Amino acid sequence: MHVSRLSLTDFRSYADAVVVPRPGFVILTGENGAGKTNMLEAVSLLAPGRGLRGAALSEMARRGGPGSFAVAARLGEVEIGTGTAPDAVDRRQVRINGAPAAANSLSEWLSVLWLTPAMDRLFTEAASGRRRFLDRLVLALHPGHAMHATRYDAAMRARNKLLAQEGLRDEAWLAALEARMAEHGAALGHARAATVAALSERLGATPEGPFARAGLALEGGDEPDLARSLAAGRSRDASAGRTLAGPHRSDLAVTHVGKAQPASLCSTGEQKALLIGLVLAHADLVAERTGRRPILLLDEIAAHLDPSRRFALFERLGLAGSQVWMTGTERNLFAEIAEATWLAVADGAVASAA
């Protein structure tokens, strides 16, 4: 599955833009700030979630525009549209073949994975960033994961709000919310554990190469009886102002297998190689399990790799067969790539650069 047509209306820096990419490499070049990452962000919205920047919908609308935006794409015989309406700029709308659909249903049609420069801090930032990264990997293999995450978070927010109402708590409603958290939390934990196990097996079977092999483990957030733990921890959670037990507290632990060292202690270059190796292995796993390769979005990837790793990356991506969108300031960063859809980005416009 690949994007064969992408159109943007009042999205970020684009008042109106249309591109018709082919399968394989799609390479956008232009100066910093030209709008290359904006194009990748638009593609990332073809999957559930808030896109590769995790931005609010209001931030995606073009400044000076009507306040709403639209992104539309063709995937084979499927037409996908997403965006906001002028009278509901804070609510995402999705249409599949013209019919209204839930955003979570997008995962039934395609998977989108990305690497951005901001993710270079993944192994040293707070656990929440690694959970989001892991959940993106999980979603490609377990489409229902987004629904369970949404319902778990909604129940947890409602519970936190109730706990804050000292002396006015509805104990029966608290128990119902905790039961709901336990139900959806168990599904979240199972899907995460299954994905980590499958990806670990895939990484273990991958020959050593230019990208360091990562070891993975899921830490924390595993409560054998979450409903009971939540009930017992109500006073503690009320004092803390948040829920302190559950899968929203889990973390993805990553190690450099070759050095037997936590990824957080590795050099910046090693961390980048670990991350690339993880995404490549996961793309292979998704293709094997689902029969379709995910679309990959690699923002400024070439600028941060030495020539040998850059060549190895392009070679592996070319053999894999995914549609791969990449950005860079100069075309010569991609000199090893013979066939691609070349696009030049400047001043809120995109044009063919073949």
pLDDT score for 337: 93
Whether this prediction's pTM lies above 0.85 is answered by yes
Please say if the pLDDT value at position 269 is more than 90.
no
What whole-number percentage of the chain has pLDDT above 70? Answer: 100
pLDDT score for 319: 87
Can you give the residue ranges of every domain in the chain?
1-110+295-354, 123-291
Q: Which CATH architecture has domain 1-110+295-354?
A: 3-Layer(aba) Sandwich (3.40)
DSSP string, 189-208: HHHHHHHHHHHHHHHHTSPP
pLDDT score for 143: 87
Domain 123-291 has CATH 1.10.3470.10: no
Residue where the block lists tokens 């109500």: 234
pLDDT score for 96: 96
pLDDT score for 211: 86
pLDDT score for 309: 87
CA-to-CA distance for 345 and 325, rounded, in angstroms?
13
In terms of C-beta density within 10 A (0-12 exposed, 13-18 middle, 19 or more buried), how is residue 319 classed?
exposed
- In the predicted model, what is the mean pLDDT of the chain? 93
What whole-number percentage of the chain has pLDDT above 90? Answer: 76
DSSP string, 62-85: PTTS-S--EEEEEETTEEEEEEEE
In the predicted model, what is the mean pLDDT of residues 20-35? 94
**307-320 and 268-290 helices, crossing angle to 10°:** 10
